[in-house]
Amino acid sequence: MKLIFIMADSLRRDHLGAYGNRWIHTPYLDRLAQRSYVFDRCFIGSFPTGPNRRDIHLGTGDKDQAFNRWRDFDPDEVTLAQRVNATGTPTMMITDVANGLGYGRNMCKGFQAYTWNRGQEGDRMDSDASVPLEWPVPHHLLRYDTHTWQQILTNRAHRTVEDDYFAPGTYKLACEWLERNWQRQSFHLWIETFDPHEPWDPPRWYIDMYDPGYRGRVFEAPPYGFIKDMGITRRELRHIQARYAAEVTMVDNCVGRLLQTLEKLGLLDEVGIVFTSDHGIYVGYEGDAGLVCKPWVIDDAKGYWLSAGQFACPGGERWLPLRAGLLRIPLLIHLPGQTGSKRIRALVQPWDLHPTMLELHGAKVPGGLTGRSLVPLLTGDKRRLHQYVFNGTQQGGKRVVQTSDGRWLYSYWTHDQRPPSLLDLKNDPAQGRNLAGKQPDVCRQLHRALEQFDPSICRPEEQAGA
């Protein structure tokens, strides 16, 4: 099997034409969707970036809990790439995600080779005293500290053409790798971009597609929190949405370049393609609860984090549910030779991609995985693999864990940070009404499912009596 796995960080599913969007240009991903299985109910598992990657690479949670934490792979943890290698299939990772490979991290574990397109976010790639430190907004309205922001400015100071930008440059490397390796009998190519994650800084021509001539304040990397508390105006929010949409279109154009390369090489009918994201993001739309970026706990006094690394909240913590804008992600699976599209309504999660890709490669799927192969859904042998999906994250030892049956979204905080939450994803698109008090039976049912998935979680009444 020649298989290409594509990860676009922080890509909202509702920003793709294949998922109903009508104003953002995504022609190439829409074209891919027309030749793919389109999963309508794919929910994240472990959150955010690093834990999600572990879900896919390992197909299971951490050793001592059901959800993955943000940490490296241990020497005894076996990754997807290692299992694919055992079949004799060459494995290659091409990425620009600095927090996967930078600072000694080992998200490339098991790949026979990897290329890191350096410079994304605060990667300490270079220094240049000629680059001035300039703030697009007051410092407290930017999520990065002074050192990191100076590094970001330095890393992007000399961009002139589109390939100098990170996602286009990463796909350029991927296309060149395909031109060198197109005659292989099989391969497993992992392509990963940090875009459309902030900072939202695509070439100007993409921004002008959505908000030409804007002259106001530019929030390309705001703190994680409430838009109102940051003083962001409606006009400024529209520009944030335009910058994010511009990033999505840039990534779509990168995918188009890949598809054109595959077509040129005569591989389009020979490869399998898996396209997904690690999570969505809030950009002030209905259901985002007035939030921007991806907060799950904030400084209650300010209404936002100053930076993603600021975990101590002097004013007190306010914990938030992970809402649908974060939870629901795109998932497209194209099989070799596929010419039509099929929508799949089954509940699925990133854990499932590990056994799925193993099966597509003809590799043995080990026991003990959290995920289940999606191949039976593709072949029509099964219509449902999971009754529930589960997601969670933690901070400072405290956790929020959630489960959903596709309609109800139940959230539980393990250290009593706040009472449980129940949102109706079907009838409350704003996700603003906590119905836990009115639907106790639904809460009990979903909490019981959560306990079965993660036995370390006690029941609310047990916690209260502890």
* Residue 211 resides in a domain: yes
- Nearest 5°: the CA angle 220, 284, 194 is 45
pLDDT band at 395 (very low <50, low <70, confident <90, very high): confident
pLDDT at 311: 54
Q: Where are the beta strands (DSSP E) in 210-277?
A: 225-226, 271-276
pLDDT at 461: 54
Mark whether 403 and 364 lie in a shared domain: no
Mark whether 107 and 236 lie in a shared domain: yes
Mark whether 369 and 420 lie in a shared domain: no
Give the residue from 379, 399, 425 where a domain finishes: 379
Q: pLDDT digit string (tens) for 324-381?
A: 999 999 999 999 999 999 999 999 999 999 999 999 999 999 999 999 999 999 999 8
Mark whether 21 and 162 lie in a shared domain: yes
CATH number at residue 394: 3.30.1120.10
Exposure letters 301-340 (e unless 16+ CB within 10 A, then b):
ebbbbbbbebeebeeebbbbbbbbbbbbbbbbbbbeebee
Closest to 119 (Cα-Cα) out of 58, 229, 24, 193: 193
Where is average pLDDT lowest: 250-264, 266-280, 304-318? Answer: 304-318
* Residue 384 resides in a domain: no
pLDDT band at 315 (very low <50, low <70, confident <90, very high): low
pLDDT at 464: 39
Output the six-digit token pair for 25. 């240009």
* Residue 251 resides in a domain: yes
What is the identity of the amino acid at 112?
Q
Q: Which domain holds residue 396?
A: 389-465
CATH number at residue 164: 3.40.720.10
Q: pLDDT digit string (tens) for 22-50?
A: 999 999 999 999 999 999 999 999 999 99
Mark whether 292 and 248 lie in a shared domain: yes
Mark whether 374 and 450 lie in a shared domain: no
* Residue 122 resides in a domain: yes
User: What residue spans of 294-393 are helical by DSSP H?
Assistant: 324-327, 353-360, 375-379
* Residue 141 resides in a domain: yes
Give the residue from 359, 379, 399 where a domain finishes: 379
pLDDT at 316: 84
**What percent of the chain has pLDDT above 90?**
90
Mark whether 110 and 252 lie in a shared domain: yes
**Total count of domains within the chain:** 2
The model scores a pTM over 0.75: yes
pLDDT band at 463 (very low <50, low <70, confident <90, very high): very low
The DSSP code sequence of 134-190 is: --SS-GGGSSS-HHHHHHHHHHTTT--SGGGSHHHHHHHHHHHHHHHHTT-S-EEEE
pLDDT at 221: 96
Contact 241, 284 (CB under 8 A): yes
* Residue 276 resides in a domain: yes
**Cα gap 68→45, rounded to integer Å:** 9
Mark whether 334 and 443 lie in a shared domain: no
What does the mean pLDDT of the chain come to? 94
Mark whether 60 and 96 lie in a shared domain: yes
Segment 230-238 shows an average pLDDT of: 98
* Residue 213 resides in a domain: yes
**Cα gap 337→345, rounded to integer Å:** 23
Closest to 464 (Cα-Cα) out of 397, 404, 419: 419
Helices 234-264 and 166-181: angle between axes, nearest 10 degrees = 10
Mark whether 278 and 398 lie in a shared domain: no
pLDDT band at 66 (very low <50, low <70, confident <90, very high): very high
* Residue 11 resides in a domain: yes
Mark whether 370 and 444 lie in a shared domain: no
Mark whether 452 and 401 lie in a shared domain: yes
pLDDT of 255 above 60: yes
pLDDT of 308 above 60: no
Give the residue from 328, 345, 379 where a domain finishes: 379
pLDDT band at 236 (very low <50, low <70, confident <90, very high): very high
The dihedrals phi and psi of 463, each to the nearest 5 degrees, come to: -65, -45
CA of 110: how far to CAs of 73, 85, 97, 240, 266, in Å? 10, 8, 17, 38, 28
